Chain A
Amino acid sequence: MKQLLIEASANTLAVILGPPNANQQYYKGYPSLLIKEQYVKPSFDLSSSKMEFILVGNIAKGWELIQPLLVTLEQDEDGYYILSDDIFQLYGEGETELIARVDYITTLIDYYHLLESKANEGDAPSQNLSQKLQKYLRSVNP
């Protein structure tokens, strides 16, 4: 399983961190991940493999991942892309990698609001889980 380190921000769909030359070489087969502010449908075949990404930084307007979050991209039998994590058990899906990514981020923010709502009701286990999520995700002034 390949592991890519990317930073997604409001203005940049995917920025690869680390030494440029090494990344250029390493990610040669994945052009969509090298392009800033423009998304190209990836041409690589995911049918027999998964790819791992690390999301970190500004993931949406007003939202920041303050701790790297490992996510996995895979493709199902219908060709849909699915992005998911193994910490909060969330997923996003879509006809393209970008749609799946946006769906995942929307889901993550939904989850934040849902847990916050349960925590505000005084549910202690949900408060605990909400605090753990807040170690990863926080609302920031846009």
Chain B
Amino acid sequence: MRPQEIESLLKNKFGFQQAKYHSKDHRWFELQLPDLPAILTKVSHKRNDISSIIEGKIAKQLRVKKDFFRGMFDCSYNRCEYYQKVKTDPYPPFDFRF
């Protein structure tokens, strides 16, 4: 999976926006859903392909398990299903370990 593909799907399919704040090193994307903290994810451009471990890290930032994350990108899940998942069964939960 390429970083550009992830960015494109986040924006076009799942309604993320590129964050106004950005550092020179990272590009951040954000999604604001009602009654939830902003979902913030960083897409790394250090390599052409995202490794499996990084996939898992991005999945957690999106509050879903890796299998669901992959489903988001192979068209198994649409925007509504993703939003529903984050609202009802986020992984990890937003208060995880606080």
Interface, chain A (partner B; CB < 8 A): 74, 76-78, 80, 82, 84, 86-87, 89-91, 93-94, 103, 106-107, 109-111, 113-115, 117-118, 123, 125-126, 128-129, 132
15 interchain pairs, CB-CB under 8 A: A76-B52, A80-B47, A84-B57, A94-B46, A103-B25, A106-B23, A106-B25, A114-B30, A117-B19, A118-B38, A123-B37, A125-B37, A126-B37, A129-B94, A132-B98
Q: Is B54 an interface residue (CB 8 A)?
A: yes
Which of B40, B54, B97 neighbours the largest number of chain A CB atoms within 10 Å of its CB? B40
* Cβ contacts under 8 Å, A117 to chain B: 19-21
The reply to whether A89 and B57 form a contact with Cβ atoms under 8 Å apart is yes
Contacts of A132 in B (CB 8 A): 98
Q: In chain B between 62 and 80, which residues have their CB closer than 8 angstroms to a CB of chain A?
A: none
Q: A111 contacts which of B40, B94, B96, B98 (Cβ < 8 Å)? A: B40
Most buried by A among B37, B60, B94: B37
Q: Other than the known A117-B20, A118-B38, A132-B98, what 4 A-B pairs have Cβ atoms closer than 8 Å?
A: A80-B51, A82-B57, A110-B25, A117-B19
**Complex Cα spacing A76 to B52, Å:** 8
Distance (Å) between the CB of A103 and the closest chain B CB? 7
Q: Give the residues from 23 to 44 in chain B that come closer than 8 angstroms, CB to CB, to chain A.
A: 23, 25-26, 28, 30, 32, 35-38, 40, 42, 44
Q: How large is the interface on B (under 10, 10 to 19, 20 to 34, 35 or more residues)?
A: 20 to 34
Closest to B58 in A: A91
Inter-subunit contact B51/A76 (CB<8 Å): yes
State A37–B69 Cα separation when bound (angstroms).
40
Measured between beta carbons, the chain B residues less than 8 angstroms from A128 are 37
* Contact in complex: A129, B37 (CB < 8 Å): yes
Name the distance in Å between B38's Cβ and chain A's nearest Cβ: 5
Residues of A within 8 Å of B44, CB to CB, are: 93
What chain B residues lie within 8 Å of A113 (beta carbons)?
21
Assess whether B23 is in contact with A110, with CB atoms less than 8 Å apart: yes
> Given the known A-B contacts A93-B44, A118-B38, A123-B38, are A78 and B51 also in contact in the complex, defined by CB atoms under 8 Å?
yes
